[in-house]
Structure 1
Amino acid sequence: MAEPVEWRADGIPRSARFDDIYHSESGADAQARFVFLGGCGLPAAWAGQPQWRILETGFGFGLNFLTTWQAWRADPNRCRLLHFVSIEAYPVSQEDLLRAAAGSPELLPLAEELAAQWHGLLPGFHRLWLDKGQVLLTLCIGDVQPMLRAQRFDADSIYLDGFSPQRNPEMWSPETLKSAARFARRGTRLATWTIARTVRDALAQCGFKVEKTPGLPPKRDCLQAVYDPAWELRRRVPPSEDQIAEPGHCVVIGAGLAGAAVASSLARRGWTVTVLDASDEPASGASGLPVGVLAPHVSPDDALLSRLTRAGIRAVWPQLEQWLVEGIDWGATGVVERRMPGDARFPANWTADGPNESWLATPERLRALGLPADAHAIRHTRAGWVRPARLVQAWLAQPGIRVETGRRVTHIERMAEDWTLRGVDDEPFAQADRVVITAGFDSHLLAPDLPLQPVRGQVAWGVASPDSQLPAVPINGDGHLIAHVPHKGGELWLTGATFDRDSEDAALRPDENQVNLDKLRRLHPEAAAQLQPDFTSGRVHAWAGVRCASGDRRPLVGRMGPDREDGLWVCTALGSRGMSFAALCAELLAARWHGEPLPLPARLASALDTRRTWT
């Protein structure tokens, strides 16, 4: 539930929880420009930088962020990538977010873009993608100290904001300020509106040189500080314990969802990327599925996989909106997940306020979808269908990326400062500063120590007339059904899939059409009855692919192994959730390369790291 806000007659918002106002009478945007940007020397300080990383305690209505974003947009010398990490225990509603920005014409359009992604703010991290991914806002929802412990990066600027030290002492405690100081490098500038003696003393003890400066009326003073401790700093270990990379040339092996996402993330950070694929065209493997379901995993205890898939869908959703055509390349239709007998993935007492932006489907909704009114099903709103190959094409079309097909890499070797990639005839394909292996199950040929498993899957699909009575919303459960996807001369439907562990054979098996029809009968009897004639007459097509899974069914993102030189990485084992995981894993890899804020809490990021397999 959103934090309630009281709006005074003069338009100043007030928090009943803390019995304090959100900003001074001079206005939040004026305070942001004067106290925070001015106190941290922005925008001049980020001029010409590859990236700038800001840590904020206390997001509130986001006006410090919006003002910083607006200054970044207006600056011709801005940094390539702006990271803004903010902690907020009690997020306000979307309506209050917009109301707070309504009095600032230059901020309101940005607030509307922010509000479009202001949803599903459960405790944890939420990465918001803005300005084509050049502005990344990481919202850390929760109490300040746990959230600071869950994140780690070297901040270039620190904004200390929040309700007054008297009203909200935890936000300004010596322990909190010490935790914030751990993000500072020598030269990091800090700004805040409070000049409380306890805050000044705690910052000084943490290594900041603190100075009171004239404030924005009606306040007399504000505070500025620079991290410059008198003691010798220990060598700072990057958050990922990996060597921070400068953008150069990277070769990505594999042009499926994982490889295309990695290439796009790195190119956005200034890398020149060459993508090599053994097939004749991109998305020829498991990513060539005609159409797939994008939906979160659900569990009664909100387990690890549930949180990871939610983060993954949040990561890819704005990119679908950015680069694909809704209704043709993808559909934001939502997904209904039906609970089958014996399936305990979600409890019967879920309500409209449940996690995953999902709620129990009403009997009326179930009947409209052709399901029994007493069926137990959940409707996911942040879900839909996607043509994976279209997403791959969009990612690979970004500037800075070159794709070479028909290039099967058989071995990689270190040559002086570069990596050299060779094929079957020992012909060198390319040289690179870094290499990322994203070749699905074929990754095991180049990374034999990784615990990879092939999982073959086959689906059935066909073309129905536009007046088809198939469900308008994808149905998920024991298998899935997608319909009404635009296709030449009609609308594509797809159902399946089979699941054969340890099978690398992608050849079609005619008998598995019947297996998929039987699955459909259990999932949606009416749809199975409608499509039975197509199966009987042989008008049904089949598609098969081999997915790549790890031993624990989670993606593998990181260096190849403990004894491997830095520069040889993998992003693989996305399993049957490639669309949910590809963008998230690519951003996690890029964050580790550049010492950026993590898109996930540290514990969740570790759950995807290759280091968990090192024994």
Structure 2
Amino acid sequence: MPGNACPDGREPGGDGGALARARHLVLHGGGLPDAWAGQAQWRLLDVHFSRGLNFLVAWAAWRADTHRPRVLHCVACTASPPGADELLRAAPQCDELQPLARQLAEQCWGLLPGVHRLAFEGGRVLLTLCVGDAQALLRQQQPTADTVCLGPASDPDPWRMQTLKAVARCCRRGARLAAWGAPPSLPEALAASGFTVQAAANAPAGGDLLQATFDPPWQPRAGQPPLPHAALPDGQPPGHCLVVGAGLAGAAVAASLARRGWRVTVLDASAAPAAGASGLPAGVFASHVSPDDSVLSRLSRAGVRTTLQTLAALAPQAKGVEWDDTGVLEHGVDTPVRLAWEAGPGLDWSRPPTPQELHASHLSTDAPAAWHARGGWVSPPALVRRLLAQPAIAWHGNARVARLQRDGDGLWRALDDAGNLLDATLPGAELAVVCAGPASAGVAGVPLPLQMLRGQLAWGWHADAPSGAAWPAHPVNGHGNLVPCAPLAGPGQAPNAVTGTAHLGWVLGSTFERDQATLPVSPADEAAGRAANRDKLARLQPALAPVLAPAFAPGLPAVHTWAAVRCAAPDRLPLVGPLDAQALPGLWVSTAMGARGLTLALLCGELLAARLHGEPLPLQARLAQALASERL
């Protein structure tokens, strides 16, 4: 077999036979690539992920097709996810699939039971991996499928009637289904579930391929959807969208919609992006842990995965300068850090620290702590600029939107304080998304129960720090957080202005000043904030604090203050979704990130886009419900 060509697999068995069967199942059985030609998206449901061969075949076909859909979705079910090594060993040894298999293997870590979104091709090929019982997960998620692949006969689960009914509920009318080596009872079971079954055809790789089309003679009864229906009408193409706010939330929404074909105009009151709460010089992202693996813990893992995927795709060359996945040590300060697992894939996320990791963080070996391997630091302004730097996104600064108004033509327009059009040259938009943080309620004209949270950071240059400071080797969080060493801005520039002549600095914070929204901070409040951050450092890093503490004295240049106002919902989770689909069609929101914008904003952008386009949800349905704007 030539090393640079995939085998044709005409003989059954071996890698070639498996590959030929996968190609015949996915492509011939699904009518691809002809069926997806010119479509905005195509949704493939693979009921038996196994070692990912069906997904690799679909991905390779998408890459090779000039008429491919803009976005390819694959929802795949597996009771037990394969490890990275297993995926690589099982992948056909050919130049077409091996690079794809390596990319897939690189993301197959930390696959706890639940739903995991893996992103490839800059977010245009998306794999939603459902780990657990296929029937239960499909009932919960209810993804819409254009093509369905059933698993091999050696795996009995796909042939269960309950699973087939769950699959049928996911199919749009006209969806095509294909199955290998089906038992004699399968055609009858499929017919009872609403499928029209074609005769099984012999395939080159051996075995019979059963094909069917979902076309029930009855009107399928819609079940209770995981979230209220808010998708665009079938056939409506992406148009123009106004996004109000150029922080992390707004930039994430703009990027997610631009990937799906929208023309996006981003309006912000400031002269530069990320001028509000997203303008901190550097911040920490890491998963939250709890002994019961709470909603926030699961949300944070989904968010960290999305953040890491985005950074690796957008700025791989800027690793170490604008971001780094160094890992994060969580110091429990006064209480133990308790994990929900002692073994398994959860350890890919968080585990007890080694003595060496504690030593590198200048903590005692008995300090209550956890090591978050999938964490790090990032410059939010740099990330925002990269998200907005897409041809389909137009950013407008010094554009303060007082409120949005839907005109008689059904289009949304931005108004200034006087009630006039903010910019007469801006076209109306079919969609408007409010990501204005504390100003979101006013801009939307809808009462939102947002609490203002002013936060103050301390930051400084390493060159100005006292000598002998015991800086930890990695970011530390717990009681506040510390980025001990990151390139910040050059002298005389704002700390959020990342330049090519960046200098190494540190960032510490933040305070939580509830119901405070006044900026700039008064001298008295600034002194209180400096003292509060100094006290956080004393608990977070007891070896570093005594050396650095004198530099916190008011008037000394070694420690600078940065402040901004964030906002939070009553349950401390973001608000994502439509504001009132009936009364205000086309008005959506992504806001209330609180102190977790770096962890959750990008995930929220993907959730908004998924709901708008009727795509598979990027996270478990119960977690999506926890973020949905309709909950309030």
TM-score, length of structure 2 as denominator length: 0.89
* CA distance 1:251–1:218, change in 2 (3 Å): closer
Match in the other structure for 1:8: none
* CA distance 1:320–1:569, change in 2 (3 Å): same
8 A Cα contact 2:249 2:591, kept in partner? yes
SS in 1 for 2:612: helix
Find out whether 1:315 has 2:306 as its counterpart: yes
**Partners of 2:217 and 2:295 in 1: CA distance:** 43
SS in 1 for 2:580: coil
8 A Cα contact 1:57 1:162, kept in partner? no
**How far is the alpha carbon of 1:146 from its aligned partner?**
1.1
**How far is the alpha carbon of 1:35 from its aligned partner?**
2.2
Q: Which residue of 235, 247, 252 corresponds with 1:256?
A: 247
**Partners of 1:364 and 1:345 in 2: CA distance:** 18
Counterpart amino acid of residue 470 in structure 1: W
Counterpart amino acid of residue 440 in structure 2: S
> Size of the alignment, in residue pairs?
588
Find out whether 1:183 has 2:183 as its counterpart: no
Query: What whole-Å deviation, never above 9, does each CA across 1:470-489 have from its counterpart, x for those lacking one?
Result: 11200101111111202347
Q: How does 1:3-42 map to 2 (within 5 A)?
A: 27-42=17-32
SS in 2 for 1:197: coil
**Partners of 1:144 and 1:435 in 2: CA distance:** 36
Q: Which residue of 523, 529, 543 corresponds with 1:526?
A: 543
Q: How does 1:135-534 map to 2 (within 5 A)?
A: 135-164=125-154, 168-217=155-204, 219-233=206-220, 240-244=228-232, 246-324=237-315, 325-341=318-334, 343=335, 346=338, 354=346, 357-415=349-407, 416-429=409-422, 430=426, 431-447=428-444, 448-465=446-463, 469-487=470-488, 488=490, 490-508=503-521, 509-534=526-551
**Partners of 1:552 and 1:32 in 2: CA distance:** 46
Match in the other structure for 2:33: 43
Counterpart amino acid of residue 435 in structure 1: A
8 A Cα contact 2:333 2:478, kept in partner? yes
Query: What whole-Å deviation, never above 9, does each CA across 1:64-94 have from its counterpart, x for those lacking one?
Result: 1001100110111111100000000111111
Query: What whole-Å deviation, never above 9, does each CA across 1:353-391 have from its counterpart, x for those lacking one?
Result: 645611111223212221112111111011000101111
Match in the other structure for 2:5: none
Match in the other structure for 1:87: 77
8 A Cα contact 2:36 2:42, kept in partner? yes
SS in 2 for 1:111: helix
**How far is the alpha carbon of 1:219 from its aligned partner?**
2.9
**Partners of 2:106 and 2:347 in 1: CA distance:** 19
Query: What whole-Å deviation, never above 9, does each CA across 1:398-424 have from its counterpart, x for those lacking one?
Result: 120001111111222221221222111
TM-score, length of structure 1 as denominator length: 0.91
**How far is the alpha carbon of 1:218 from its aligned partner?**
5.6
- Which ranges in structure 2 are unaligned for 5 or more consecutive residues? 1-11, 491-501
Counterpart amino acid of residue 173 in structure 1: R
Q: Which residue of 580, 585, 589 corresponds with 1:566?
A: 585
Larger mean CA deviation between 283-292 and 148-157 belongs to 148-157
Match in the other structure for 1:603: 622
Counterpart amino acid of residue 512 in structure 1: G
**Partners of 1:101 and 1:55 in 2: CA distance:** 20
8 A Cα contact 1:557 1:569, kept in partner? yes
**How far is the alpha carbon of 1:163 from its aligned partner?**
4.7
SS in 1 for 2:138: helix
SS in 1 for 2:32: coil
Match in the other structure for 1:612: 631
Percent of aligned positions with the same letter in both sequences? 48
Counterpart amino acid of residue 405 in structure 1: G
Counterpart amino acid of residue 601 in structure 1: Q
**Partners of 2:603 and 2:324 in 1: CA distance:** 20
Find out whether 1:124 has 2:103 as its counterpart: no
Computed over aligned residues only, the root mean square deviation of the Cα atoms, in angstroms, reads: 2.2
**Partners of 1:481 and 1:205 in 2: CA distance:** 60
SS in 2 for 1:605: helix
**How far is the alpha carbon of 1:567 from its aligned partner?**
0.4
**Partners of 1:92 and 1:303 in 2: CA distance:** 25
Larger mean CA deviation between 190-199 and 81-90 belongs to 190-199
Counterpart amino acid of residue 332 in structure 1: D
Runs (4+) of structure 1 exceeding 6 A deviation are 22-25, 235-239
**Partners of 2:126 and 2:223 in 1: CA distance:** 24
Larger mean CA deviation between 460-469 and 438-447 belongs to 460-469
Match in the other structure for 1:546: 565
**How far is the alpha carbon of 1:529 from its aligned partner?**
2.5
Query: What whole-Å deviation, never above 9, does each CA across 1:576-607 have from its counterpart, x for those lacking one?
Result: 00011111111111111111001112211111
- Which ranges in structure 1 are unaligned for 5 or more consecutive residues? 1-21
**How far is the alpha carbon of 1:300 from its aligned partner?**
0.5
* CA distance 1:240–1:24, change in 2 (3 Å): farther
**How far is the alpha carbon of 1:346 from its aligned partner?**
1.8
**Partners of 2:167 and 2:598 in 1: CA distance:** 35
* CA distance 1:356–1:609, change in 2 (3 Å): farther
Counterpart amino acid of residue 229 in structure 2: E
8 A Cα contact 1:358 1:381, kept in partner? yes
SS in 2 for 1:525: coil
